[in-house]
Structure 1
């Protein structure tokens, strides 16, 4: 733990992914208005949706979660392991819905990771796909995109035409932007052989080859014919020395504002930023602020951090968004 001295106080800066705030048991629910970037607002009208956590746990010790669209329809129902609205840990069955009220998907979770069998539906109610998510082996590390952790058992297009049955078939997967697509073969639930398609709104076309769900090689081509070969489909940006080194840098360089010192602020600051195609952190955004300049201090700290190695999508440098939670706990006044 790195200790920082400010006005003769010592404050421990802990970079954690979980933070549980004390809650009053007198209330029955915790209501949050969630913004587009995942932050919180006090204004319901400016929120993307309303999230309600029921404080009383069920027999398994889980807390009921209900999210609602602005029109009042249910967006998501499920169960979580903690009462921290900013760091939900999904557990068990989670159901999501379209804003029209139609069921969109049923998915099972274990400690916030998808497991078991998931079903997705078109808004009309027609079954779209069935996937089985496999639990990673102990200590197993996967690349940024790994097609072996889930098996596609069934897929039908929007007309109801079945393209994959019992894990086998040729498929055309349209992207949400209505322009890009991917097409190729599934065998025993995994991608196999040659696939092709487009990405970045048609700016690039690609060919790639799979063996049992793993990309073995690929090549992207831009509009003027420049080719970009690759061996990994997606490569995430990396901070020099890894995430642990970023945490150490933050512990050493975050400066607790004097106003926050006097107010003895505790809680979690959450920042979002983009690593651009040159590896520079940019486009800083405050997801959750504790006030007294605590979020601005976090941004200033990030601006001083080292340059990242950039991310790539199918051989093309891309901008990638990151979220950094910073938990601030003020400690007692040290003995003189």
Structure 2
């Protein structure tokens, strides 16, 4: 699920990519050209980056993964248990890089979950933060507020000024749009925090006890106050995502042309859950043709209204990616009883 917030980064399920097998120094590789929206393309020139997996595992049974920017510089290096870009299962150390070649992050993964120590760096190469995850996080990103499952051990700004050392200190960050400040104790947020968001239009105050929010209040530009006890709340479909997928499976109308062409595979459709809970802004990431995507969008529109997502006590627009598996089973053969 990618979120339409300050740091969009989340999706429901892994995206599906087309792959091609090419020889490279006597090793077979799986090469994937990936577009900006996460979809696949057969043309390198239209890709946001290229993903390459060596199909021969190392002694630990892991496959080497390398992603590259269009300029040829390394974007990500790591290891996966599955030699398929459609179903990456990260394991061990995974490093990401800025386009200028500087290291952006170094993280440990265990069973496809972020775990242990994570280091992040500023674009200029200086160390930004060291965070220790005491509970593995499957989809780490800024929206999920990693404070819940980790301790911040070190933090420094882009000039190298250290704010947090050994888990203690005053955190203070600001840019041209927003700011945030508060105290860390033993790696956890503690006491009173305050700041702004949405380009300074809204102010917030939060009170923490050993890393957990006990109370939060947002004040908007008109002076209205919105209390909350969770900084981020994800949208919810009535009965859960499984119920949505069951509804789609039971109500999807297979196009006649697709039936004739014996189309099968997986659609991937993204959409935004508006502040009203209604899905909108549909985008087809992976299409199977013959009108299959249009019918997928149609059935999602017919589903129930969602409970919207919230940030700082206010409703926000949130983007999801939903896979729809289409599979035409062969017609059963008839036989006469004897």
Judged with a 3 Å threshold, the aligned counterparts in structure 2 of structure 1 residues 271 and 210 are, in CA distance, closer, same or farther, namely: same
Deviation string 1:104-152 (CA, Å, 9 cap, x unpaired) is 1111112322101111112222111101112359xxxxx9546231110
Judged with a 3 Å threshold, the aligned counterparts in structure 2 of structure 1 residues 73 and 156 are, in CA distance, closer, same or farther, namely: same
Residues 33 and 50 of structure 2 are in contact (CA less than 8 Å); yes or no, is this contact kept in structure 1? yes
Matched residues, number: 315
Equivalent residue runs for 1:203-242 within 5 Å:
203-242=201-240
Please state whether the residue corresponding to 1:225 is helix, strand or coil: coil
1:320 is matched with which residue? 318
1:248 is matched with which residue? 246
Q: Distance in 2 between matches of 1:16 and 1:47?
A: 21
Provide the TM-score with structure 2 as the length reference: 0.86
Residues 236 and 306 of structure 2 are in contact (CA less than 8 Å); yes or no, is this contact kept in structure 1? yes
Q: Distance in 2 between matches of 1:157 and 1:144?
A: 22
1:53 is matched with which residue? 53
Please state whether the residue corresponding to 1:330 is helix, strand or coil: coil
CA RMSD of aligned residues (A): 2.5
Please state whether the residue corresponding to 1:246 is helix, strand or coil: helix
Q: 1:96 aligned to 2:103?
A: no
2:309 is matched with which residue? 311
Which of 69-78 and 79-88 deviates more?
A: 79-88
Please state whether the residue corresponding to 1:249 is helix, strand or coil: helix
Residues 20 and 83 of structure 1 are in contact (CA less than 8 Å); yes or no, is this contact kept in structure 2? no
Provide the TM-score with structure 1 as the length reference: 0.87
Deviation beyond 6 Å, 4+ runs, structure 1: 15-27
Judged with a 3 Å threshold, the aligned counterparts in structure 2 of structure 1 residues 272 and 16 are, in CA distance, closer, same or farther, namely: closer
1:77 is matched with which residue? 77
Q: Where does the alignment leave 5 or more consecutive residues of structure 1 unmatched?
A: 1-14, 138-142
User: Which of 285, 288, 293 is equivalent to 2:286?
Assistant: 288
Q: Where does the alignment leave 5 or more consecutive residues of structure 2 unmatched?
A: 1-11, 138-142
Residues 109 and 115 of structure 2 are in contact (CA less than 8 Å); yes or no, is this contact kept in structure 1? yes
Deviation string 1:237-285 (CA, Å, 9 cap, x unpaired) is 1111111211110111112222222222232211111000000001011
Structure number with greater CO (CA < 8 Å, separation at least 6) is 1
2:132 is matched with which residue? 132
